Each structure stands twice: as structure tokens, then as C-alpha cells.
Structure 1
Amino acid sequence: MNTHPHTDTIKNDWEQFKNLTYRDRLAFFDQKYTLLPFEYPSFDPHLSFFFDPVQSDRLLNLYQAEAHRKNLYVRELSSAGRTYRFDVRPLSSKQWIFNHYLITKFIAQADAPQPSVPIETIQPLLNKLRHQITSSERNNPLIKFMTVFYAGYTDYQQYGLLTPKGTRKLIELYLYSQGLLLARYFESPLPASQQIAPPADDQRRLEQQLIAASQLGIIQYLQTHIGQSPLPPAKLARLLCLILGEKASASEAVQAILTHLHTPRGPRQLRQQQTVIKRQIRDIIGSDCT
């Protein structure tokens, strides 16, 4: 148990903490005590944390350090004969929010400009990674690390920015986020003059899907109920791709269509159908998205 000299500070912190939502408690705890007590390697498109023995040992050391640390997400402070418990361990219903917060934090830490690495240099490394995952002993911790990383990479390619569900270790969330970052690294946007528009048939189908989504109230629901309101256009487009079953690469086309799509409020007779759809949306993208 920790002691703290500033009695009023502890009490004031507790009064603030206990009235926060779970997401805000995470942010509060992170600011005061940090949710990441270890230093993780910076984003590296060369994947040296898998192929450089020194860097691989660093991952293994982080894994072991986490395994030996207890109560990473609990702080108990005593003051004036009373113990104040700041606890942000995720219950099962809050695990997605916890994972999302930390994935976002890992990505934000890597958002500084990175040295330019040719895609031609990275692709052979990915091929080597895939080969090791499929041909090596799965009980090897490093192969498990590779598998989590590759899951982040492929999930981003298929669905856009995504948060894994279920209980995850910090090292898993870190590696998953690095896979997301590498997939995003591959997405260096082309100049507008070099971008290829979708075929006419695909364009019409996409427009019809978005019109239907608007009439059913899906777009309005996303804009007003998911995270910050209104959602940034790019994020709205990615979520719509996920819901409509489109590839993440279609998000730019979706965003372009949305700029000229009129989104009137759905008719009254569609309300019941909207309720069902909104429930399905929450199931797809998580009950507490940002």
C-alpha cells in the first residue's frame, strides 16, 4: 500500500475519479500513475524486433516483466486513516474500452514522422514473417508475438483500424498496434492525379448502399452516438466500410460520396428497423467506440 503526503490531493483525486466513466478513469489513471510502466520499442518498419536477436530479447524481457508485475492497474493510497483505491482493471464488459485506449495510445506514440522505408524493402520481411508463423513451433513465444503482430496487420488491411476483443496482455496490445501501423505505413496516399476511381458499377453500388444507410438512420447514428460528435469524415468512412462489408481501401470512395450525399432523417415507419440495425452496429464495432 502506498502512502501520500498530500491528504487533500488524494481525497480530491478520489472524489473526481469515482464519478468518471470507465474510459475517463483510464485517462485519469494514465495521467497520474501511467498505464504503461514499461518502455516499448518505437515503430520499426524493418521489423527488427523479430529479426534482430537483441531486439527480440527485449520483447521477451518485456513479456516477463509484465508477467511478474502484480496490480498494474490498481493504486491504493492511504490518508488520514482511510485507504483510497484507484482501480481500472477491466471487467469483461469493459475490456474492449481498455484495449481500445491502449491501442490508441501506442499508435499516438508512433504518429511522429518516420524515416521513409521503401515498400520493396518491407515486403520480403513480411514474407519471411508469414513463413516463420506457418512453419515454426507455435509454443515459441517469439512466434506468438509474430502471430499477434500479423493479426494487427491483416485486420487493418481487411477492416481498417480495429481493436481486438478479449483479455490481452500489454505486450499483445503493443504488437497488435505495430501490425496496424505497418499496414497503415503501406497506405501512403497517392497524389489525386494518380488515384484510381472505382469502376462505374462499383461506384453505383456503393452509392446505393450509402443512400440506404442514410435512409435507415445508420449514418446519423454513427455521427451522433460514436465517440466525438461529429465524427471526422475519414473515421466515419472507415466505420461505414466495416458495417457495409467493404474493404478498407474503399474508404476514400465512401468519403467522396458522403460529401454530396443528402442524409435526411429516416421516415417514422423505419424506426423499429433502425433500432435493430443500431444494435447490430454496436455489436460490430464495440459498445463504446471512439
Structure 2
Amino acid sequence: MNYTQPEINELFLKFYSVDKYEERLKFYDNHFNILPFTLPDFETNLFTFFSEDYLQQFENLLRIERKNSESLQKTFFFEREHYTFSIKPGPAHYATFNNYIISRFLQADTQLKQKIQQELALIGESKTPVKTMLASVNEMLVILKRKVSCDNRRRLNTQFALVFLKGLTDFSAHGMPVIAPKRKKIIELYLYAQGIMYGEYIQLLKKNVPGQEEANIPFDKISLLKELGVIEAIRRKYPFLNKADMDKKIEEIIYLVTGERMAITAIR
């Protein structure tokens, strides 16, 4: 939008008359759009969301954000004057900034969530489609977590996945975002919000399985492996091992898949 100098002058005076940082964020967002670039919409297919095309886009956006120190301010130049609107957060406002951006992403996906809910309602009378969708979700998560756990170098693509999984884990544990007190990049907050959204998507799937209690649908790593038959497959693959060696073998494979050391008692 093109502004005249009198309009910008009026906005400038109003902007700096706002004391609360959160209100300044809203003011800035309403007039200038707080997001400096366009990001992909929510995607339920993790193979697509973490495809090379998407990951390259995330990496490019991160580079842009790192190089552009002016991404959180807007300056208007006129013949004799210029006006700068800045929302760069200080340490005391990091959490407020993070919370606002996450909320912004979640609000932007409200219509999509409603669409997903409507689609699930249409197939709600049959257990098979939703159960199949849940199994697919679980499989994609197992594969994603395995890739993450196997990357000891913690490449950038892995870091993107970890931020997404952090959002998913926080939603699973708390039902809402857990706001970090440290300053985060917008691309980080976007990926975290997508993890929250994915948790909501899984929750919607669970609610649309007729007669199925949510607690009966596994979600943690070990339960996922059991549900997919991985534990039983390991036992069938090594039938010649005695009990002690079998337990050790299962623990080793679980570590390779999840990146966590677990006693066999936790796996059973």
C-alpha cells in the first residue's frame, strides 16, 4: 500500500504512542504485515513437507532472514524526512515476539483446520479410512525421527525437522505452544507452529475414529514402533538369540531408530 506523508506521519505518531510491545506488534502487523516473506501452507504429508523442494525453500528463507537486518522495521522516505517503524525486540520482549508470531501462523491456518475437520466428518462413519490415515501419520513420524536420530552432524535440514518435532511434542504434552524466552528466527517459529498444527491434525484424526478412545492410539516413539510391528519383526528376524541377547539386540535397534537408550522393560 502506498502512503502519503501526512498518513505516515499520523501512523508514526500513533505507533510510538503505544506503550505495550505486544500492541505495537499488532499495530505494525495491521498496517505493514509483520511477515517479511511468504511461507508454505500447512501440509499433512510429511514426505512432501520435508521434501528437497520445501527444505531448500526453508534454507533460502533462513538465509534471507539472517542477511536482512531490516526485516522487522519499515522505513518511509520523503523529500525532507524519513519515518522508521521498528518492532525489533529487546531481550525483555523476546517471548512476546515469539508468542505473537506463533499465534499469527496458527491463526492463518484456522480455515484449513476447519476444512480438515469437515473432510474427516464426511468419512467419520467408517473406521478404516481414518485408521489408515493415522497409520500413515505414525509411519511418516517414525521415518522422520529415524532420519533425525541418524544425523550426528545435525545438518540444517535435521535442525528444521527438530524444530517441527519440538512443536509436535509440546502440543502432545501440553496441548499448546511452549514459548521460548530466547529470540527465535521467523522460520523457526513457523516450523514450530507447523509442529503444533500437526499435533492438532493428529488429534482431529483420533477424535474421528468411532468408538476409539484417544488413549488407545499410540503416539510416543516406543508405542509407534510396537503399533507398526517393529518390535515383533526384530524378534522374528533373530529367533536364534537367547533372551538376554534378544533384549540387547532390541535395545540397540531402538537406539538406532529413536536416538534414545531405553531398557528393555520400557520397551515391553
TM-score, normalized by the shorter chain, greater than 0.5 = yes
Amino acid at match of 1:36: L
What SS does the corresponding residue of 1:71 show, helix, strand or coil? Answer: coil
Q: Distance in 1 between matches of 2:75 and 2:212?
A: 55
- Does residue 174 in structure 1 map to residue 190 in structure 2? yes
Describe the shift of the 1:187–1:60 C-alpha distance in structure 2 as closer, same or farther (beyond 3 A): same
Contact 1:95 / 1:166 at 8 angstroms: preserved in 2? Answer: yes
2:41 maps to what in 1? 42
1:65 maps to what in 2? 64
1:96 maps to what in 2? 95
1:9 maps to what in 2? 7
Map 1:1-290; keep pairs closer than 5 Å.
Answer: 6-20=4-18, 21-79=20-78, 81-111=80-110, 112=112, 113-114=115-116, 118-162=133-177, 163-188=179-204, 190=207, 194=211
Contact 2:15 / 2:24 at 8 angstroms: preserved in 1? Answer: yes
Q: Greater relative contact order (Cα 8 A, min sep 6): structure 1 or 2? A: 2
Q: Distance in 1 between matches of 2:207 and 2:154?
A: 41
Summarize deviations over 1:205-233 as a string: whole Å, max 9, x none. xxxxxxxxxxxxxxxxxxxxxxxxxxxxx
Give 5+ residue unaligned stretches, structure 1: 199-290
Summarize deviations over 1:118-173 as a string: whole Å, max 9, x none. 12111111111111111113431000001111001001111121223311011100
Q: Distance in 1 between matches of 2:76 and 2:214?
A: 59
TM-score normalized by the length of structure 1: 0.61
Contact 1:7 / 1:80 at 8 angstroms: preserved in 2? Answer: no
Describe the shift of the 1:5–1:43 C-alpha distance in structure 2 as closer, same or farther (beyond 3 A): closer
Give 5+ residue unaligned stretches, structure 2: 121-129, 216-268
Amino acid at match of 1:72: S
With 54-63 and 149-158 compared, the bigger mean Cα shift is at 54-63
Number of aligned residues: 195
What SS does the corresponding residue of 1:43 show, helix, strand or coil? Answer: coil
Summarize deviations over 1:165-185 as a string: whole Å, max 9, x none. 311011100000000011111
Q: Distance in 1 between matches of 2:171 and 2:136?
A: 20
Alignment root-mean-square deviation, CA: 2.6
TM-score normalized by the length of structure 2: 0.65
Q: Distance in 1 between matches of 2:50 and 2:15?
A: 43
With 164-173 and 70-79 compared, the bigger mean Cα shift is at 70-79
- Note the C-alpha offset of 1:65: 2.1
Which entry has the higher C-alpha Rg, 1 or 2?
A: 2
Contact 1:156 / 1:183 at 8 angstroms: preserved in 2? Answer: yes
Amino acid at match of 1:14: F
Amino acid at match of 2:44: P
Aligned-residue sequence identity (percent) comes to 25
